[in-house]
Amino acid sequence: RPLLNVMNQLVWSADGRGVHTVVCDGAVVVDDGRMTTIDESALYARAQLMGEAITTRSGLPDKAKYPIL
């Protein structure tokens, strides 16, 4: 019964917004909800560029055919 299993509820209802601090092997890897071990802005920028490159190589249009409301 998943509704009566507290551990399942914690795992399946949680997301990143609920994480403030993470300590792994004595090192703080998340502080105030932000990763301390990587440059998140650089990661997101690289992911954006890679996504655009994949879209270009696919030959698919990069714009939605219908307006997004």
Q: Write down the domain spans for the chain.
A: 2-58
Residue-by-residue pLDDT tens, the chain, 69 positions: 556 788 888 888 888 888 899 999 999 999 999 999 999 999 999 999 999 999 899 988 777 677 766
Given this model, what pLDDT does residue 10 score?
A: 80
Given this model, what pLDDT does residue 58 score?
A: 93
Given this model, what pLDDT does residue 2 score?
A: 57
Q: Whole-model pTM above 0.75?
A: no
31-68 burial string, b = 16+ CB within 10 Å, else e? eeeeeeeeeeeeeeeeeeeeeeeeeeeeeeeeeeeeee
